Every structure is written in structure tokens, then in C-alpha cells.
A and B are shown apart, each in its own frame.
Chain A
Amino acid sequence: MLKHLVAPTVLLAALALSPVTRAQGGRPAQQGAGNNQQAAPAAGQNENIHLDGWERPAQSLAASGQKPGPAPVHDLSGTWEPVPRYRDGVFASGPRDMPSDAKHEALMPYTPLGKQMMNSHKAGFGVNIAPISQINDPFDHCDPIGFPRIELFNLRGLQIVQTKDEVLLLYQNTRTWRNIWTDGRPLPKLDEIVEPRWFGYSVGKWVDDTTLVVETDGLNDTTWIDNTGRPHSDELVVEETFHRVDSLDFDLTIKITDPKMYTEPWYPLKNFRMGQNAPSFDIREMICAVSEQENFNTLLQNVVPSSPAK
């Protein structure tokens, strides 16, 4: 009896709440949930079936039952995703340990210039959220996402390859890569850098058997630090710590130092866990194609709220 009651009752509730039951002056009437007979869900429909780029079911090695062993020495190689959920690194509203909400924004050590720059950034998320037509996010035009935003927005699949002289980070988001030089060269001095780069200049050093510390400078200051518009200058220095916890995981910590924009260093991520996938895992493309982005902007450019969001 209950089974027979559930679907009609849900439909009734949906119909009662739906705006389609109200008059929409001058617009064609919409069909509400009550106008179709398809709303009864089938079992299992919402299962989250994580697939790799070849459409094959994919799980982290830990999720598939493998027990962690000791952390290997000086080795980050493999294909990684955030754990426990592969989407835990999306960070749309800012990085996990410093999201752009009222509470955390009050903790941000902006300089006056940093605050001014932050306020000039109209983002799609965070405290500076703006209508689509007013967003001035450079990534909305497929400018290179840059570093450190590549790790602070849509951090998804990440393949790490090591050679004798460098560690290569291959990112799913925008299908880009970084070179971490581990051959002993020093970090370039800021006043000697003649060509700032979207992903900067990176050097890494193993400080113990399982911890690689990477410093990056020489960054193009037109990029945003994260998806909410945190600014940076040409004096930004980013320190990443990759700590191999065991055979299946590493933790990523990121420290931001930029005396022009921030009065003291801050940490968008502290020990953010990445889990190893099977060696056969193929990272799916996630590309910012200019033509697709232009179409996106065109389709949504006229969507403007009657009262701008705060």
C-alpha cells in the first residue's frame, strides 16, 4: 500500500511547490511534474559510477581494498585523485582550508592593495560572487588557469612522472603540466626574472625520504590564486609540500607568500589527501576550449538577476 502512495504523493508535493503551478504572464505555460507520469525514480539511478577517460569503472587503490604499505622513498609517481571522493578537489568556493566565505574571508591577511585587488575581482563563487555578465575571471576566456590555481580549483586527476632531474605534474584540468626541477638548481631570484610565466619556475628538494618541498616564483600576475578571485602579484612565492603518507596516499600542503597582497603567509590547503589510482587509470580530458567557452558565455550572457547577488 505504501509503495502505491509514495510516487503520487511525491508528485503532489512537487506540483504544490513548483513555480509552474503559478501564472507566468506572457510566457508559455510550463509543464510541471504533475503533468507527466515519469517522476517515479528507479532503483540505483543515482549511483555514482566513477569512470576513467576510457569509460572504465575506476576506484582508488584504497577504495578497491588494497592495504597501504610503507611509503616508498623519493617517489610520487602514479596517477592520483582526491580521496575519499574524486571531486573533493573542485574547490569552487575556494580551497578547502580557506574557502571564500564570511568567516574565512575575515581571516585573510590582505594588505590594502590586496583587499583592493580582491574587491576588483568579480567571481562566479565566493564573497565576490557576481552575475555572469559581470564576472571578470580571466579563466572565463580560457586564459591559462595558471599556478597555483591549477591546484586550487578543479584539482582532479593528476599524474606524476619522475625522471632523474625533474618531477612532472600532468593535470586533468586544462590538460596542462608543470616541471619541478630537482637537479639542484636554485629558485630564480625575483629581480632577475625577465619573463614571468603562467606556471612560474619551480624547483623541488626532498627534505626527507618521503617529503618533497617545491618552491615556485616568477608567476604571471594576471591569474587568480583560486576560483573566488584571491589576487597575487609578481612577488608571489608558492611552497608546495608533497608528503608521501604511505604506498597509497600523499598529502599536499600549499603556502602562499606575497608581501604585496598579504601581510603574512597563508595556507589554502593543509595536508589535502590524494589517493593512488590503478596504473591503468586514464585521465579524462577537461579542456577549456575557446569556442566552447564563447558559446557558454553567449548562451548565458543575458542571464542577469533583478537584484545583484551580494
Chain B
Amino acid sequence: MRIAIRVVFLAVFSLLIVGVPAFAHHGNASYDGGPLTIKGTVTSWLWTNPHTFLKLDVTDDAGNVAHWVCEAPAPSTLVNFGFNAKTFKAGDVVTVVMAARSKSLSVGRINKFILASGYVMNTEVQ
């Protein structure tokens, strides 16, 4: 039980210190919301500078679809975390963990991708 509590503490702590990707023209000043995890269907994967984008459609239980724009690090950084221009294709189901997001728009900044297979691709820069 003590070990389980320790695991919870570590998980909570790690979520609180979610890293800020720091490698392009702007930081997280424009995001006013905290971490968020969403699961959706890829509509496009933009392998572009200064940042990459994963566009996702997220459907709720009522069938409403939200079109998310998820910002990720530059290709020159992502390539070193196992990503490339063909990592995602339209129709893929992906879960993304965002470090920061907009409260008013479906836009956020990705820290981690979880593929349908369960494979986790982490983009946190240490």
C-alpha cells in the first residue's frame, strides 16, 4: 500500500512539472489552460517548421465533433524522439497529452502521444 501511495505521488508530481518544450519562436504564454489528455482521430499531420501540428477530430458521447489543433515540437527535435513525416496518417486513432491548452479554443501543445497500439511517444525535452 505504501508503494502504491508512492506511485500516486510520483504520478501527480510528474504531471505538475510537465516540461515546456523550448525550441521555437514562442513559449506557452499564449496558452491559458492546464494539462489535458484527449483521444481522437487524425485528420492531418503537418511536418512543418517552426512547429509540427497534429489535427484531431474528437467526438463526445453525444456525437459532437471538436476539431483539435495540437502543436508539437519542430521536426529537427521530433526526429530524435522517433517521429517523422509519416508517423501519423488520416484515420489513425491517437491519444495526446497536452502540457498547455487554450481555454477558449481547441488548441493545445503536445507533450506525449499514445498510439492506438499503446506505444507512447514522448516529446518532452529534458
A: which residues have CB within 8 A of B? 2, 5-6, 9-10, 12-14, 16-20, 27-33, 35-42, 45-51, 55, 86-87, 90, 92-93, 124-125, 129-133, 135, 137, 139-140, 154, 156, 172, 227, 284, 286-289, 292-293, 295-296, 299-300, 302-309
Contacts and interface: CB of A to CB of B under 8 A. Distances in A.
Interface string B1-45: 001100110011001100000111111011111111111100000
- Interface size on B, as a range, is 35 or more
B23 A49 contact: no
Given A6-B7, A38-B116, A87-B77, A289 B49 contact: yes
B99 interface: no
22 contacts: A13-B8, A28-B60, A29-B60, A31-B38, A31-B40, A31-B58, A32-B37, A36-B95, A37-B118, A41-B122, A48-B81, A49-B80, A92-B22, A124-B29, A130-B29, A133-B30, A140-B25, A154-B23, A286-B75, A296-B53, A299-B53, A304-B30
Given A16-B12, A28-B58, A286-B76, 9 more contacts: A17-B12, A42-B120, A92-B24, A124-B27, A125-B22, A288-B49, A303-B30, A304-B30, A309-B29
A9 B8 CA distance: 6
Contacts of A36: 39, 95, 114
Contact of A139 (B25, B59, B76): B25
A51 B80 contact: yes
Contact of A28 (B27, B66, B102, B125): B66
A305 B25 contact: no
Interface of B: 3-4, 7-8, 11-12, 15-16, 22-27, 29-40, 46, 48-51, 53, 58-62, 64-66, 69, 71, 74-77, 79-82, 84, 95, 97, 102-107, 114-122, 124-126
A90 B8 CA distance: 34
Contact of B58 (A30, A86, A137): A30
Contacts, number: 192
A19 B76 CA distance: 31
Nearest to A42: B119
Contacts of A156: 76
A5 B5 CA distance: 10
Given A156-B76, A309-B29, A18 B23 contact: no
A305 to B, nearest CB: 4
Contact of B11 (A14, A284, A304): A14
Contacts of B8: 9, 12-13
Contact of B30 (A47, A55, A132, A137): A132
Contacts of A303: 30-31, 102, 105, 107
Contacts of B33: 19
Nearest to A286: B76
Contacts of A137: 25
A2 B10 CA distance: 15
Given A292-B48, A293-B50, A306-B103, A284 B37 contact: no
